Amino acid sequence: MRVVAVLNQKGGSGKTTIATNLACGVQRRGYRVALVDADPQKTASEWAARGDDTPPTYEATKDLETNVPALSGSFDVVVIDGAPRMTELATSAVKVADLILIPVQPSGADIWAAEDILDIIEARQKVAGGPDAAFVVSRAVAQTNLAATIRGALESYGVRVLDTRTGHRVAYPEALGAGLSVLDTSGKAAEEIESLTTEVIDLLTNSNE
């Protein structure tokens, strides 16, 4: 079983959007996927309750470090949707994850805000040799200077930047509100999530068991 945690204490950075769509994307590739909602606001749980094809979704308990590994008999991939604010749950999520995705909107303030989670990941990597981490540019507006320069700004942290980004598209909030993924729609957002799914599966299968 592989575990992907979508973390960034910056509120509204796109964690739930990426976690829910990625979980559906991986599920559609034939993997058994669970979504773990680590946010007290419970957005992912509400999303899951609204949809028909949503992956099994669990509200995280304090004991993530016991409860996530316990899913390994039933699921191939677990996606954890993190909370705004660096709660204890986020620290536990870093411990149980193989890969951390850090959604960042293209703005200086959003990039700086990611430094807290990077510190936690680095501290864990020093003692445990993992997890792997990658930035995902979220809500990019095409043809803006910020969208063009963000890759360089993120790469300066020495962390991988995924090739896939999500563009600023109305399909995302529409799907989130309806218990759907953007894969249920056609168009650019669906292409983005297909591409994200491929990139993440590649990273998960290439990192050590």
Ligand X SMILES: Nc1ncnc2c1ncn2[C@@H]1O[C@H](COP(=O)(O)OP(=O)(O)OP(=O)(O)O)[C@@H](O)[C@H]1O
- Site residues for ligand X per CB under 6 A: 11-17, 39, 43, 84, 138-139, 166-169, 172-173, 176
Q: CB nearer to Mg ion: give 19 or 120.
A: 19
Q: How far is the CB of 128 from ligand X (least distance, A)?
A: 25
Q: How far is the CB of 93 from ligand X (least distance, A)?
A: 13
Q: CB nearer to Mg ion: give 175 or 205.
A: 175
Binding partner of 32, given ligand X, Mg ion, none, CB within 5-8 angstroms per partner class: none
Q: CB nearer to ligand X: give 189 or 204.
A: 189
Give Cα separations from 75 to 2, 27, 35, 108 (angstroms): 9, 10, 10, 37
Residues 6+ apart with CB under 8 A from 199: 162, 163, 164
CA-nearest of 68, 73, 83 to 12 is 83
Q: CB nearer to Mg ion: give 87 or 125.
A: 87
Supply the DSSP string of 43-84, one letter for each residue.
Answer: HHHHHHHH-SSPPPEEEPPTTHHHHTGGGGGT-SEEEEEPPS
Binding partner of 173, given Mg ion, ligand X, none, CB within 5-8 angstroms per partner class: ligand X
Q: CB nearer to Mg ion: give 40 or 69.
A: 40
Q: CB of 9 within 8 A of CB of 121?
A: no
Q: How far is the CB of 175 from ligand X (least distance, A)?
A: 8
Binding partner of 181, given Mg ion, ligand X, none, CB within 5-8 angstroms per partner class: none
Q: Which H or E run includes 93?
A: helix 88-96
**By beta-carbon distance, which residue lies closest to Mg ion?**
16
Q: How far is the CB of 45 from Mg ion (least distance, A)?
A: 11
Q: How far is the CB of 135 from ligand X (least distance, A)?
A: 14
Residue 60 to residue 81: CA distance in whole angstroms:
9
Binding partner of 12, given ligand X, Mg ion, none, CB within 5-8 angstroms per partner class: ligand X
Residue 164 to residue 180: CA distance in whole angstroms:
20
